[in-house]
Amino acid sequence: MSSRIGNFLINRISTGLPVENIIPHLQEAFSAGPKNLVIQAPPGTGKTTLLPPLVANILCNEGAGNATPTKVLVTAPRRVAVRAAARRLAQLDDSQLGTKVGFSVRGEHISGSHVQFMTPGVLIRQLLNNPELPGIGAVIIDEVHERQLDSDLLLGMLAELSQLRDDFSLIAMSATLDSDKFANLLDAQVLSVEAPIFPLDISYAPARAPRLNAKGVDWDFLDHMAQKTHDAVTHSEHSALIFVPGVREIDRVMSTLKSLGHNNVFPLHGQLSPTEQDRALAPSQQQRIIVSTPVAESSLTVPGVRIVVDSGLSRSPKRDSARGMTGLITSSCAQASAGQRAGRAGREGPGQIIRCYSEEDFSHFPRFVTPEISSADLTQAALWLAQWGTSPADLPLLDQPPHAAWTAAQQILRLIGALEGDAITSLGHRLSTLPLCPQLSASLLRFGEQSAKILAVVSENPQGDVEKQQPDKREVERLRRLAPASVGKASAGQIVGAAFPQLIGRKIDNGEYLLASGTRARLMDSDLKDAEWISVAAINRSQNSAIIRAAARISEDDAIDIIGVVEETRAIFVNGKVQARKVKAAGAIELSSTPTKPTPAEASETIATALAKGGIDLFHFSDKAASLRDRLKFIHEHRGEPWPDIETADPHLWLSPEIEALSHGTRLNNIDMYPALQRLLPWPEATNFEEFAPSHLSVPSGNQHRLDYSSGRPVIRVKLQECFGLEESPQLCGIPVQFHLLSPAGRPLAVTDDLRSFWSGPYSQVRAEMRGRYPKHPWPEDPWTAPATARTKNRM
């Protein structure tokens, strides 16, 4: 191969990269023209560095003298990875960033002529603006195994585009992925790269402290990680990479390491400036300690690392459907993620892995990463697909979103005016182009440039009182350029509240707030605890409670203006009676409440709601009614239609008189359910009811005894002497009656549905034990021929 093919110095770029073995296979794959590919290569093999320029060169050669698109777009899931990949490729190619290679992330754009790195969200907005992607010959989606929501959506949208354009190639790349699943979705060929990895010494070093407590990651556990790192680097000349779930944990570990005498310690996460990120990623001759979020798990290569210290934790978005909120949840990472973290230590030589958890803990980690589409807030996704003109069911997706979460996302879009029904509005079109979530974008357009500062804070993991925090100045200026001129003056609470009206809350206790959505949440910031009303900007779920991480003060008038006020009668069914109040409320927050008498219609609706939740068990059943209910259940189970299922039968069809009586004030205990159940008997089949499920059964003594169906089968309780001579247990609907044979005093002696076996065997033992205790009653040796009786021997 020549040293230069097209525009990139492939020989120079590929030197020392394991992925260079794929070059001839990739050229062969493209020999017949662009096609979709799935490329599987472990972390650190150089796939992100080599494959984009190689594809660009191949397209460049094929496109010589004609109009074949040659530019390649590459997505990486995080901004830090996008910047690092673009700078690394330009450096290896000995070209200036902004000539052949560029990158685009939120708030920063440097254009490249041949390869452009970007986050998935940036490319989605580019697609929405121009769905055909003119001039683009290939899109490479990197790290698709992470199953981030934006990447999954982008994959589906580009899969549709690849079906429309025969001069376009879609390539999915990953360290670990289900190749067949991706290949089937994209109708793609699979290319795999084997990467040499040096031996890894993996040890497990759990702390005495738990990894997680009620407030999140335990500080003592983080101190344990710092100590283990200190011990490892003290006996080594190599650099260490520590994996923790977030920025606060990075700060804690760094502080502890510095107290142990380490000064060459660097953070690595997405909120750092490009200069700060470069400090962590730049090659160095000195031993260093890099404390990173999972951003370094697969998207980045940190040179010089031979020691990896792993918390086994990750942080991911999780929607709480019961509370209607989404927060970041810290939990154990996937086993596949732990494997990728470990692999970071074995790229340059033998590596040491210290897992700060037990081997048993590791065995309980999930095997693979959970797709974000199954657990994240889907509001942005719903807006994008509405703009794209499709629904999840019609888009080629790896996994479909949960129906409830998708419906909730659409409802939020309707609340902010982005959707009317299922159709996108003109406001929705505008919001889909803005580089903020739809809620923040709506607030930006509503309040204009004055909202830029607050929204810049809210968009970047806020903590505490958002009004007191200092945002990134570049982000503020960017939002101001996107915003219209301000009209009037808005407070921080109004700006945040307009974005998240369901998260406006009123104080109900010391530090606890009731939100408009109905969720109770505890405020962590002491500076805001005197605020009667707040607008919540960030909220997390912690075990079984909701924790407010960031908020702003808002006046009651402004809060009510944003949420809106509803006056209604609220009725509930309590202790067998309908009780009602006239309520003035802002969402779930009651502003005033007075007792009132419900109308019959309101009472009827309340009873119907209670029935829907509690079923017919809401009613009181007399012994006679309970017996009829159990018989109906039995016959439905064993004979089916037309015998009704009383659990699913529409109560309005058979309980209307009872519901009407309750709605006019009759107490629940005064309702007789026997006539209601009789209405469920199907005619003319009801004439056979006593045959299929009789209420009583005659026994050889001549007496009749009640049958109990409450256990799901017919049961009779009868004195043993009344059953002498009965050889077989009668069958009802094919089910033998179960006999509970009793002593003369009514105490249980035996349970059987096979009387023949009982008389032939266990009876003799019962007789031996009972004849001395009850001598006045018959205990014959031959129960087959003895007369059945309920009397004593003297009265027979």
How confident is the model over 474-504, as pLDDT tens digits?
A: 889 999 999 999 888 999 999 999 999 999 9
Per-residue pLDDT at 69 exceeds 50: yes
The helix/strand/coil state of 93 is coil
Per-residue pLDDT at 290 exceeds 90: yes
Mean pLDDT to the nearest integer, 349-361:
95
Distance CA 626, CA 693 (A): 14
- Name the residue with higher pLDDT: 406 or 327: 406
Q: What is the mean pLDDT of the chain?
A: 89
Mean pLDDT to the nearest integer, 300-329:
80
**pLDDT digit string (tens) for 84-101?**
899 989 999 999 999 999
Per-residue pLDDT at 603 exceeds 90: no
Per-residue pLDDT at 170 exceeds 90: yes
Using DSSP bridges, classify how beta strands 715-719 and 738-742 pair: parallel, antiparallel or unpaired. parallel
Dihedral (Cα; 785, 786, 789, 791), 10-degree rounding = 170
Task: Give the domain ranges of the chain.
Answer: 10-192, 200-374, 379-555, 565-671, 694-795
The one-letter code for the residue type at 294 is P
Using DSSP bridges, classify how beta strands 566-574 and 577-586 pair: parallel, antiparallel or unpaired. antiparallel
What pLDDT, on the 0 to 100 scale, is given for residue 316? 82
What pLDDT, on the 0 to 100 scale, is given for residue 458? 93
Q: Tokens at residue 623, please?
A: 């012994």
pTM over 0.95: no
What pLDDT, on the 0 to 100 scale, is given for residue 1? 37
Mean pLDDT to the nearest integer, 772-789:
92
Distance CA 83, CA 101 (A): 11
Distance CA 216, CA 543 (A): 9
Q: Is the omega angle on the peptide bond into residue 780 within 30 degrees of 0, that is, cis?
A: no
Angular region, 16: left φ>0, alpha ψ -120 to 50, beta rest: left
* Three-state helix/strand/coil letters over 179-234: HHHHHHHHCCEEEECCCCCCCEEEEECCCCCCCEECCEECHHHHHHHHHHHHHHHH
Distance CA 321, CA 670 (A): 39
The one-letter code for the residue type at 17 is L
pLDDT band at 543 (very low <50, low <70, confident <90, very high): low
Mean pLDDT to the nearest integer, 437-461:
93
What pLDDT, on the 0 to 100 scale, is given for residue 577? 76
* Three-state helix/strand/coil letters over 227-271: HHHHHHHHCCCCEEEEECCCHHHHHHHHHHHHHCCCCCEEEECCC
Per-residue pLDDT at 5 exceeds 50: no
Residue 545, strand partner residues: 542
What pLDDT, on the 0 to 100 scale, is given for residue 651? 72
Distance CA 785, CA 788 (A): 9
Dihedral (Cα; 484, 272, 541, 547), 10-degree rounding = -80
Strand order in the sheet with 577-586: 566-574, 577-586, 589-596
Lowest mean pLDDT, pick from 90-104, 193-207, 220-234, 253-267: 193-207
* % of the chain surpassing 90 pLDDT: 60
What pLDDT, on the 0 to 100 scale, is given for residue 198? 84
**Pick from 52, 72, 42, 14: which is nearest to 145 by CA?**
42
Cβ atoms of 295 and 304 within 8 Å: the answer is no
**pLDDT digit string (tens) for 716-747?**
999 999 999 998 999 999 999 999 999 999 99
Lowest mean pLDDT, pick from 67-76, 614-623, 680-689, 750-759: 614-623
Mean pLDDT to the nearest integer, 282-304:
84
What pLDDT, on the 0 to 100 scale, is given for residue 614? 67
**Within the chain, what is the greatest distance between any pair of CA atoms?**
120
Per-residue pLDDT at 619 exceeds 70: yes
* % of the chain surpassing 70 pLDDT: 96
The phi, psi pair for 191, rounded to 5°, reads: -120, 130
Cβ atoms of 309 and 242 within 8 Å: the answer is yes
Per-residue pLDDT at 2 exceeds 50: no
Strand order in the sheet with 189-192: 108-110, 101-105, 115-118, 71-75, 136-141, 169-174, 37-40, 189-192
Mean pLDDT to the nearest integer, 539-554:
84
Residue 126, strand partner residues: none
What pLDDT, on the 0 to 100 scale, is given for residue 531? 94
The one-letter code for the residue type at 94 is D
From the centroid of its chain, how far is CA 754? Answer: 52
Q: What DSSP string runs through 298-327?
A: TS---TTEEEEEE--EEEEEEEETTTTEEE
What pLDDT, on the 0 to 100 scale, is given for residue 12? 87
Residues in the chain: 796
Lowest mean pLDDT, pick from 378-387, 426-435, 632-641, 675-684: 675-684
CATH architecture of 10-192: 3-Layer(aba) Sandwich (3.40)
What pLDDT, on the 0 to 100 scale, is given for residue 160? 95
The phi, psi pair for 496, rounded to 5°, reads: -70, -40
Task: Residues 200-374: name the CATH superfamily.
Answer: P-loop containing nucleotide triphosphate hydrolases (3.40.50.300)
Q: Tokens at residue 736, please?
A: 């033998």
What pLDDT, on the 0 to 100 scale, is given for residue 65? 45
Distance CA 785, CA 723 (A): 11
**Fold match, 10-192 / 200-374:** yes
What pLDDT, on the 0 to 100 scale, is given for residue 233? 95
